[in-house]
Amino acid sequence: MPKHTAPVKKNEIISLHFEDLTHEGSGVGKIDGYPLFVPQALPGEEGRVKVVKANKNFGFGKLLELTKESPERIEPVCDDKCNGCGLQHMSYNLQLEMKQNQVKNAMKKIAHLDHVPVHPIIGMDKPMHYRNKVQIPVGEKNGKLITGFYQKRSHHIIENTETCVTHNEVINEVVKAVRDISNRYGIKPYNEKDHRGVLRHIMVRTGGKTKDVMVVLVTRTNKLPHKEELINELTAQFPHLKSIVHNVNSKQTNVILGDKTEVVWGDAYIHDKIGDITFAISAKSFYQVNPSQTKKLYNKALEYAAIDHNDLVIDAYCGIGTISLFLAQKAKKVYGVEVVPEAISDAKKNAKMNGITNAEFFVGEAEKVMPWWKAQGLNPDVIVVDPPRKGCDEELLQAMIEMQPKRIVYVSCNPSTLARDLRILEDGGFQTQEVQPVDMFPLTPHIESVCWLER
């Protein structure tokens, strides 16, 4: 029996018509029913393609030239060598349509809930310069310190990619200033091969509403060289600068932040507002990167939760209390749980700062804490869950089912794990009512959704 059953061979050059998009935004064309995935190609286009890989059931190609262009194709702002904004060759309308379909397909194929309405995605008016936090690697070239993102699937830094169009513009200015000051004073960049040098990463956070700025300088060394010069020059240049933080990461690791953090100038926190609530954000806080879309997402979560003043609410994966404090404005009591101790101390601080007294926060794994709460007689009316990309633990889903709330609101950043978890909740006696996708990350394939279930 022949080993190779694909109708194409590696390095073969073929003509292809593209009819669809993958969930990552690659074009899909077929040869005798055999799909080829080709980055940068759009549905309705035709072109010459070089086959780079031919597996048994599907292959990958490289677009050599287009012979027919889609009207949805636009000129990319950059060449996307870092693979961060892989959708910038398509119109914003097509990006939204692609993400909408991604959620619909997951609901149909994984959750088997094709009858559940998936509402039109909530997009942005201006889908650029939305990111309020960036972590930029530092490297060396020709004896000079350089900054930029890593090239796709490598640790090679592409110079000047820190001026990315998704960043809040002040972030780009701050990174450039730190780089220029470091070069002037001879601060050595970190070299990960021989684990030498000083400056590893520059992290910048901003407050969307307040315009506050925090700079976090991550070094291998306990000492921050030319600390006074950095402070003097940055504070003179950026009037909204509220905080300069030194983080020490002396380990040989891909993890960005180390354990030791010291505020060298200003405050330990910057602030931002979403709706009526003010949040204090530290160097290590988890806080949504697109504040204008976060407000839309949380308003929808609040609408789906349909809370009244008698309701007890659990917010699993509560972080620094962002959703909890929104819920507490309507509920009798909110219980937030989160595994990161610093996040819980931030959540308590945020509740106090906003004068919210009906929210309590606990450190622990939601899947362990919730069965214990159940045993103590806590019966929530509503559970809100906003898990990481891998979705909810099976234990947590079972705990939610056993608690028998009237309603569950599931906020998700991954349609396939959302759909998998919805199937389990459906089998456990809950009915999915509707899904609202929100575009939190324009120019990238990522998509956020909020989903409403009733017991």
> For residue 23, what is the domain's CATH number?
2.40.50.140
CA 165, 169, 173, 174 dihedral sign is negative
Residue 183: which H helix or E strand, with range?
Answer: helix 169-184
Kindly give, in sequence order, each residue whose CB lies less than 8 Å from that of residue 158, ignoring residues fewer than 6 positions away. 81, 82, 148, 149, 150, 151
Active site residues: 413
Would you state the structure tokens that stand for residue 281, as one six-digit string? Answer: 């954000």
Least Cα distance to 77 among 38, 20, 127 occurs for: 127
| Tens digit of each residue's pLDDT (9 = 90 or more) over 80-113 | 666 667 788 899 999 999 999 999 999 999 989 9
Asked if 197 and 225 count as a contact pair (C-beta separation under 8 A), the reply is no
Residue 93 resides in a domain: no
Residues 328 and 431 in one domain: yes
Domain match, 120 and 138 both: no
73 pLDDT more than 80: yes
How does strand 333-338 pair with strand 312-316? Answer: parallel
User: What is the C-alpha separation between 377 and 22, in angstroms, rounded?
Assistant: 46
Domain limit, last residue, from 274, 298, 324: 274
330 and 237 inside one domain = no
The count of structural domains within the chain is: 3
My answer on whether 329 and 425 are in the same domain is yes
Last residue of a domain, one of 222, 247, 274: 274
The answer as to whether 59 is a domain residue is yes
**Do residues 231 and 309 both lie within one domain?**
no
Note whether 148 and 240 are same-domain residues.
Answer: yes
pLDDT digits (tens, 9 = 90+) for 300-334: 999 999 999 999 999 999 989 989 999 999 999 99
Segments forming the whole domain that contains residue 317: 103-124+290-454
Q: What percent of the chain has pLDDT over 90?
A: 58
> Quick one: pLDDT band at residue 277, thresholds 50, 70, 90?
very high
Domain co-membership, 261 together with 358: no
Whether 74 is covered by a domain: the verdict is no
Q: 336 in a domain, yes or no?
A: yes
* Domain contains 7: no
| 84 within some domain | no
In a domain, 98, yes or no: no
- pTM value is 0.87
Q: What is the CATH number of the domain that holds 185?
A: 2.40.50.1070
Residues 345 and 220 in one domain: no
Q: How far is CA 25 from CA 33, 98, 195, 398, in A?
A: 20, 8, 37, 34
DSSP per position, 66-94 = EEE--TTB---SS--TTSS-TTTTB-HHH
Structure confidence at residue 1 as a pLDDT band (50, 70, 90): very low
At 347 the pLDDT is: 94
* pLDDT at 162 (0 to 100): 57
pLDDT of residue 189 exceeding 90, the answer is no
283 in a structural domain? no
The CATH number of residue 390's host domain is: 3.40.50.150
Which sign, positive or negative, has the C-alpha torsion 92, 81, 79, 47? negative
